[in-house]
Structure 1
Amino acid sequence: MRDIMGLMKQAQEMQQKMANVQAELDTIEVEGAAGGGMVTVTMTAKGEVKSVKIDPSLMVVDEREILEDLVVAACGDARTRAERVMQERMSEITKGLPIPPGMKLF
């Protein structure tokens, strides 16, 4: 019975830590870039885009598609970085818990 109570306590502590990390992820910002840094996107670790910066030299009317592609690529780069931050924060919480391999909690 002690094992079950200890496991329940551990689960409650992990749940609280996860709630804290979820709140923290709203405040962590990452930056993604494309075109050698000519387009940058800033987003939260949860994926909310906060800003897009475009080098003025890319503002060429006939090359709109290139600029659009660079914005998409910068968003993808930022999203990859955000996911990495989220994975790092969540792995800190689950460190030491007996979780079966391959089981994802987030």
Structure 2
Amino acid sequence: MRLVSRRGLQKVGSGHRCFRVHALFGGKKDNEGPAGMPGNMLNLFEAVKKAQAVVQVESGRIQKELAAAEFDGYCEGELIKVTLSGNQQPVRTQITEAAMELGSEKVSLLVTEAYKDAHQKSVKAMKERMSDIAQSLGMPPGFGDAMK
């Protein structure tokens, strides 16, 4: 019998012991999955893959819902109304006659104020929907708040 080692090809005789080679952490065990992953790691890996699939499906559904939704923002006195989609895309801006009489500089400030209000409402709705996904996966309420 011949054995390949670092020193080259050697003959294994009665005076030599034959060793079984194991991986760094003891080699393959009976409860291992593919690529030498322990069984419990394989279960965790499968659970993560399933959660990822759920998130992809649900986030796609939520994106469609938000794209169809509209959020209205108003300036103080409701002289100007800005409407954004759930994806924060501008849909329309309505300016009253009373606002037009205030002058261009004031109208500019009021439009910005109304836009910020609509944007805030849109983002809040998106975060609530994403929080619903996180809770459906068993995460605690407010889990996504750390990623703000």
TM-score (norm 2): 0.63
Amino acid at match of 1:20: R
| Matches of 2:123 and 2:145, distance apart in 1 | 20
- Percent identity of the aligned residues? 27
Judge which range, 78-87 or 49-58, deviates more.
Answer: 49-58
- Which structure 1 segments of 5+ residues have no match? none
Q: Which has the larger radius of gyration?
A: 2
User: Is the aligned partner of 1:97 residue 2:135?
Assistant: no
- Which structure 2 segments of 5+ residues have no match? 1-41
Question: 1:66-85 CA deviation, whole Å, 9 max, x = no partner?
Answer: 01110011001100010000
Contact 2:134 2:144 in 1 (8 A): no
| Matches of 1:76 and 1:38, distance apart in 2 | 15
Dislocated runs of 4+, deviation >4 Å: 98-101
| Matches of 2:60 and 2:92, distance apart in 1 | 26
TM-score (norm 1): 0.86
Q: Which residue of 1 aligns with 2:80?
A: 39
Give the match's secondary structure for 2:133. Answer: helix
User: Is the aligned partner of 1:73 residue 2:117?
Assistant: no
Choose between structure 1 and 2 for higher RCO, CA contacts under 8 A separated by at least 6 residues: 1
From 48, 70, 93, the equivalent of 1:29 is 70
Considering only aligned residues, what root-mean-square deviation do their CA atoms show, in Å? 2.0
Contact 2:131 2:144 in 1 (8 A): no
